């Protein structure tokens, strides 16, 4: 499955368009990560636990989008975009969407 944030894939032509596909996940903070983040706020620096959490959430959302595209018969997703939102206190959604296509 080819995934790109561009409208086209260099060297390929779009043969069929299936429409918008998406994937999302909602994640909450982990108590252990939250404690470490609180301590890190005192001294500054990257909140590694949250960085890992967001990376895992992006991967999961992407996988869900790819599965939806595959179920339609697509072999690529173009014009991919990410969005985030706060669902409730301590929980955020990662949403990814793009256009499922067949390229040759």
pTM of the model: 0.83
DSSP-based three-state secondary structure for 24: strand
Evaluate if residue 1 carries a pLDDT over 80: yes
How far apart are the C-alpha atoms of 56 and 67, rounded to whole Å? 17
The total number of structural domains in the chain stands at 1
State the residue range of the domain holding 58: 2-103
How far apart are the C-alpha atoms of 54 and 48, rounded to whole Å? 10
Task: For residue range 38-77, list pLDDT tens digits in order.
Answer: 555 556 666 677 778 888 899 999 999 999 999 999 999 9
- Beta strands 76-88 and 14-28 are unpaired
CATH number of domain containing 69? 3.30.110.70
pLDDT number for residue 40: 54
């Amino acid at each position: 499955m080819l995934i790109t944030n561009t409208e086209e894939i260099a060297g390929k032509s779009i043969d069929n368009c299936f429409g918008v596909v998406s994937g999302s996940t909602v994640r909450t903070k982990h108590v252990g990560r939250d404690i470490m983040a609180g301590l890190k706020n005192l001294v500054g620096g990257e909140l590694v636990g949250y960085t890992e959490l967001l990376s895992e959430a992006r991967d999961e959302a992407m996988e869900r989008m790819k599965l939806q595209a595959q179920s339609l018969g697509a072999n690529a997703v173009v014009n991919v975009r990410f969005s985030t939102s706060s669902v409730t206190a301590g929980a955020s959604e990662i949403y990814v969407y793009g256009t499922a296509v067949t390229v040759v």
